[in-house]
Structure 1
Amino acid sequence: MTTARTLEYPQQPGGRPPRRSRSKTLIVSAIVVILTLIIGVIAADRIVDFTTEQRIADGLSDYGDADVSVEGFPVLTQMASGKLDSVHITADEATYENVDFTDVDAKLFDVPTDTSRPIGTVDATAVLPHATLDDLASEHASLPAGMTFTTEDDELFLKGSLLGQDLLIGIEPKADGRRAVVNASEIRLGSAKVNVDSLPGFLTSAISDIVIDLDFLPAGLELTDITPTEAGLQVRLHGSGVSLE
């Protein structure tokens, strides 16, 4: 009488694990090594990113306290190429060539790591407060005596007094390269309003074609738009080959 015997797989000599198990172990080890390298590269890149942002912020400290963000990844390869793809800079307040700005928001593209070379492209907005406009006008233009800039209902005015009443001269600012040009549009004396076009030229010559030079701006940067705000004039700037030195 024969009896059935259970089939048994032969044991590998020396009790070694099956080849498939060794292969899985090698694959897992390789994955761990690769992940470790990737994490290390990312960590190093973030460190370089932080130190680069800090270095740029320190370089701008003469102009004010700025928040700097180096955009794009990885930063390491950007540094190796000698320029950063994009840098975003914001500042609540800044001073450049003794001119005060607020709400600065600038995007810089193709920024060389060698600061002696110009920046590829700059797009920025900033606000020139009323006090700054007054200072610029007193230095670069001839305003009627005793008049200062103000904003009402998102319109820019020159404000003064005449015959004991408030005098407001509505003006329209326009961007003109590295100049801001303002022209009078209406005159308000108390509750009375007069369109400037209806007045003789000799009466309005002092408030027409007022030019404020902005030659203090970095070389290569020009005005592209001007918008009155409650805080002053928001200027939009654009330029290529811009140098801060």
Structure 2
Amino acid sequence: MTTARTLEYPQPQNGRPPRRRRTTIIVSAIVIVLTLIIGAIAADRVVDYMTEQRIAKSLETYGDAEVAVEGFPVLTQMAAGKLDTVHITAAEANYEGVDFADVDAKLYDVPTDTSRPVGTVDAAAVLPHSTLDELAAEHASLPEGMEFTTDDGELALKGSMFGQDLLVGIDPKADGRRAVVNASTIRLGSAEFSLDRLPGFLTSAISDIVIDLDFLPAGLELTDITATEAGLKVRLHGTGVSLE
């Protein structure tokens, strides 16, 4: 006798979706996450650019500056009210009526509230010879007709005496918020003389020349001074520097 077979049905697979469906879900999730990450990065870069432009605009009264806000992400820095690092460079700048060249400054822990001081500042700039002449004229009595120059990589004062060219080599030193320069060598024409062989009125005028830098923001001090062909390169450092 023939017996009817019991109908066979596919057994359920514990509710698991087909492999192709699982793959599609994973890929979609990855795409969504990547889209969110790219969007966040793009938003951060926009905020970074706008912040740099805002800072550069606030510096327009001093000169045409390039500004770079360093560190990522900027959005969280802004939310915290403080930027990690701001790098500022300028070929030329004028601060408190004093001309500078080759300005390169890094500001650390920069508050978004400009009324608060900057955490730390490391900066370098060149005081051109013409600026040195102006500053020395305000704080020292140089012999008439003498001006700053650079000779063989050393800072010097040049002028004339007894109808011959006079070149006085000077040694600049950092002293807090002042630059102090003293005569080190003297050449009249082609001959070199020791300091004690020159008239006292001249040697006294070229000794202990103080160039006062009190016009700089409070908190900044000189750390090093070197002569360049363009003038005197000064390095500055400070903590709790007020920019107002």
Do the two structures share a fold, i.e. TM-score over 0.5?
yes
Change (3 A) 1:26 1:197: farther
1:40-69, CA deviations, whole angstroms, 9 ceiling, x for partnerless residues? 000000000000000000000000000000
What is the number of residues matched between the two proteins?
234
How far off is 1:160 after superposition? 0.5
Provide the secondary structure at the position in 2 that maps to 1:219: coil
What letter matches 1:44 in structure 2? A
What letter matches 2:44 in structure 1? D
Q: Which runs of 5+ in 2 are unaligned?
A: 1-8
The equivalent residue for 2:49 is 50
Pairing 1:165–2:164 present: yes
Pairing 1:216–2:198 present: no
The equivalent residue for 1:186 is 185
Give the whole-Å Cα distance in 2 for the aligned partners of 1:125 and 1:74: 27
What letter matches 1:147 in structure 2? M
Pairing 1:119–2:118 present: yes
Give the whole-Å Cα distance in 2 for the aligned partners of 1:19 and 1:205: 96
Provide the secondary structure at the position in 1 that maps to 2:142: coil
How far off is 1:226 after superposition? 0.4
Change (3 A) 1:90 1:44: same
What letter matches 1:233 in structure 2? L
| C-alpha contact 1:185 1:197 (8 A) present in aligned 2 | no
Q: Which runs of 5+ in 1 are unaligned?
A: 1-8
Give the whole-Å Cα distance in 1 for the aligned partners of 2:137 and 2:42: 52
What letter matches 1:63 in structure 2? Y
With normalisation by structure 1, the TM-score equals 0.91
Give the whole-Å Cα distance in 1 for the aligned partners of 2:69 and 2:163: 55
What letter matches 1:190 in structure 2? G
How far off is 1:196 after superposition? 2.2
How far off is 1:203 after superposition? 5.2
Give the alignment's Cα RMSD to 1 decimal.
1.9
Change (3 A) 1:203 1:138: closer
The equivalent residue for 1:93 is 92
Give the whole-Å Cα distance in 1 for the aligned partners of 2:11 and 2:165: 106
How far off is 1:243 after superposition? 1.1
Change (3 A) 1:96 1:203: closer
Matches within 5 A, 1:48-87: 48-87=47-86
Instruction: Detail structure 1 runs of 4+ shifted over 2 Å in the superposition.
Output: 9-12, 195-203
Give the whole-Å Cα distance in 2 for the aligned partners of 1:203 and 1:18: 98
Give the whole-Å Cα distance in 1 for the aligned partners of 2:199 and 2:144: 20
Give the whole-Å Cα distance in 1 for the aligned partners of 2:56 and 2:196: 49
How far off is 1:204 after superposition? 1.7
| Deviates further, 123-132 or 189-198 | 189-198
The equivalent residue for 2:147 is 148
With normalisation by structure 2, the TM-score equals 0.91
| C-alpha contact 2:164 2:188 (8 A) present in aligned 1 | yes
| Deviates further, 192-201 or 30-39 | 192-201
| C-alpha contact 2:52 2:67 (8 A) present in aligned 1 | yes
| C-alpha contact 2:68 2:87 (8 A) present in aligned 1 | yes
Provide the secondary structure at the position in 2 that maps to 1:127: strand
The equivalent residue for 1:239 is 238
Provide the secondary structure at the position in 1 that maps to 2:219: strand
Provide the secondary structure at the position in 2 that maps to 1:137: helix
